[in-house]
């Protein structure tokens, strides 16, 4: 449990907290929680069948591919850097809206 909590375990909730406005954060958090628990349930439920049918190596290769996909997602441009930005700047970046506020001259 310690390794999950110190690793990638809290990542979905951190992403939800940063990416969604307050009015939709509750729904987005619920969906993220559901998907995490569903993925955990499916993997736990079918691990033995996959290991028995295709070998234990195949089961762990499936996990390795999932980890690799997560790594590629984290270093791609799909996950923008939000360090030092306000919530409004993050929302503009995610919505790809240009700043249309008037400029003082």
pLDDT digits (tens, 9 = 90+) for 36-81: 889 889 989 999 999 999 999 999 999 899 888 888 877 777 777 7
The reported pTM is 0.61
Query: Measured at the alpha carbon of residue 85, what is the angle toward residues 82 and 87, in degrees to the nearest 5?
Result: 95
Contact 29, 53 (CB under 8 A): no
Mean pLDDT, rounded, for 89-105? 66
Query: Cα–Cα distance between 73 and 70 in angstroms, integer?
Result: 5
Chain mean pLDDT for the chain: 80
């Amino acid at each position: 449990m310690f390794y999950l909590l110190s690793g990638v375990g809290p990542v979905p909730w951190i992403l939800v907290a940063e990416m969604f406005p307050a009015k939709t954060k509750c729904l987005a958090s619920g969906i993220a929680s559901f998907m995490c628990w569903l993925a955990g349930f499916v993997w736990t439920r079918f691990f033995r069948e996959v290991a028995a049918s295709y070998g234990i190596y195949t089961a762990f290769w499936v996990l390795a591919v999932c980890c690799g996909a997560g790594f590629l997602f984290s270093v791609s441009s799909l996950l923008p850097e939000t360090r030092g930005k306000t919530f409004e700047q993050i929302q503009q970046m995610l919505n790809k809206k240009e700043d249309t506020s008037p400029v003082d001259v």
